[in-house]
Chains A and B, each alone.
Chain A
Amino acid sequence: MKYICLGYYEPAKHAEMTEEERNAMFDECFEYDDHLRANGHFSAGEGLQPPETGLTVYWKNGKVATTDGPYIETKEQLGGILVLEARDMNHAVQLMSQHPSLKYGSSFEIRPVADMSEIVKASEQRRLKLTAR
């Protein structure tokens, strides 16, 4: 099964680190990612640029609107996502609980991937009917 792991970190904490400390953290984390990769657990993953580089798109009064970034006020920010391949939820928990970023104050939200295939199939059939009319 696939699990999406949303990694949260505290930007303020990272900003206080020396370059040496930050490099040590990266080395540990990437080494663990390599270990996950070697065992077929790391399906995909990306780090994110800091929150202030992003924007949010939404619908307001019948028009598209945008705002800067996510809610910057919250102390913890999404820093990266990892698509984990694990046998079950507890296996996913076990793999992520050894991730070195945890001891640097990060946390992971682990969410099972939803099987949308039935919903997609039903939707395709509805749309097919529409075009046939």
Chain B
Amino acid sequence: MPSNVPDDLSRSIETLYRLESGRILASLVRLLGDLDLAEEAMHEAFAAALESWPQTGLPDKPRPWLISAGRFKAINVMRRRVRFDAVQSDLALQLEARVKEAPQEEEMEDDRLRLIFTCCHPALPSEGQVALTLREVCGLTTEEIARAFLVTPATLAQRIVRAKAVIRDKAIPYQVPASQELSARLGAVLQVVYLVFNAGYSAEATGAELSREAIRLGRLVLDLLPEPEVMGLLGLMLLQESRRAARSSAEGELILLDRQDRSLWNREQIAEGIALTESALRSRRFGAYTLQAAIAAVHAETSSAASTDWRQITLLYDRLIRIQPSAVVELNRAVAIAMYEGPEHGLRLIDDLLASEELTNYSLAYSARADLCRRLGRLSEARASYEKALTLARQEQERRFLLRRLE
């Protein structure tokens, strides 16, 4: 950074970077049609701002200024690349023609949506989708993302390099998919958002940060594309996040839903989560995220574990199984049934599920079974199931929880 930039101006530029770089990058991607070029042009535009704003002062509309500067910087980059590589000269000409079109303010928000759909394109590996979305859409650095996912920056940098190579090689366009494709492609976007959220749900130290980022991303997608399932997903994340403070003890031990101190639940997040879930349900075009949010909402609205409406929860699981059949959902349904029809009913369902072999490597199936056996007084069976769960559990917090149960 040049040393002659006054403090307040350099702070304004930093704030501008934090708040606006996502939008500016997305618009440059549309104008230039190339993610790498757009990133480079954006960085150069900010460097140009540091150079000229100390003399000219902060422009009235800094964002269009930066986009415009970025466009012309990109032309210079392309001219330089042409001298480096003659093959690129056609590209440079195309680019110059394209850059001469003026950017249109109303397209800006669409630009971000285009970029989200590209970063979450199904042709990219899932890890690449997540890394690219966090970096290009949320503006996190390679190092920040690596820290959150407990991998080295070098590993994460390569995921991003590879994902960008796929976009380039397969010529994945920067656009919002046409309406007939939209719902399938939106599914991929929501899956990335929920993956980020879940990574934050389980991680102890870095978790809160990732969950916040996922919620922020969910809000952005909802702003741009107010579809019921987007509401449902945001509602689900808010309702799950509302329990963060109650979910583990001061010593970091896992606390299950029925033992949580409900006064620690975040009321504001619950209110917003429930409102979103209700609007999604009213649309009658909702899907699996909305149903999961509705289940979380039943818990959130109940003042104690004992007064939970398990029948209602079972009905919601029934509907969830119809649209998204999965053994894990059936396991949750079995646990809900055990809560109001008695542990023996739940146990029978879980044993059927285990017999079908889909859940044989799923530690939570065994710990749920163990808990029901314990409630039925079948203690040696309970012990055997807790031990089995322990051999399968991978997360430290879950392992400590099971060990305490075994004691």
Contacts and interface: CB of A to CB of B under 8 A. Distances in A.
Contact of B44 (A28, A39, A112): A39
Interface string A86-98: 0111110111001
23 contacts: A1-B141, A1-B143, A28-B83, A28-B84, A32-B80, A39-B43, A39-B44, A39-B47, A40-B47, A87-B141, A88-B144, A89-B143, A89-B146, A89-B153, A89-B157, A90-B157, A90-B160, A90-B161, A91-B142, A94-B36, A94-B39, A94-B40, A112-B143
10 closest A-B pairs by beta carbon, nearest first, are A88-B141, A89-B142, A88-B142, A89-B157, A39-B47, A89-B153, A90-B142, A90-B160, A90-B157, A40-B47
A55 to B, nearest CB: 31
A100 interface: yes
Interface of A: 1, 28, 31-32, 35, 39-40, 87-91, 93-95, 98, 100, 103, 112
Nearest to B154: A89
B2 A40 contact: yes
Contacts of B36: 94
Contact of A35 (B80, B142, B156, B161): B80
A87 to B, nearest CB: 6
Nearest to A85: B1
Contacts, number: 50
A87 B153 CA distance: 13
Contacts of A39: 43-44, 47
Given A87-B43, A89-B142, A90-B161, A112 B84 contact: no
Chain B contact surface mostly:
helix
A87 B142 CA distance: 9
B81 A88 contact: no
A18 B154 CA distance: 37
Interface string B116-151: 000000000000000000010000011110100000
B142 to A, nearest CB: 4
Contacts of A35: 80
A89 B146 CA distance: 10
Nearest to A40: B47
Interface residues of B, number: 25
Given A87-B141, A112-B143, 6 more contacts: A1-B141, A28-B84, A39-B44, A40-B1, A87-B43, A90-B161
B34 to A, nearest CB: 12
A93 B47 contact: no
A99 B103 CA distance: 30
Contact of B43 (A91, A103, A112): A91
B81 A98 contact: yes
A93 to B, nearest CB: 6
Interface string B52-66: 000000000000000
A35 B83 CA distance: 14
A32 B130 CA distance: 32
B157 A93 contact: yes
A98 B76 CA distance: 14
B240 to A, nearest CB: 29
Contacts of B39: 91, 94
A88 B157 CA distance: 9
A88 B143 contact: yes
B156 to A, nearest CB: 7
Contacts of B1: 40
Contact of A100 (B84, B135, B141, B160): B84
A91 B39 CA distance: 8
Contacts of B143: 1, 88-89, 112
Most chain B CB within 10 A, of A1, A28, A95, A98, is at A98
Interface string B1-45: 110000000000000000000000000000000001001100110
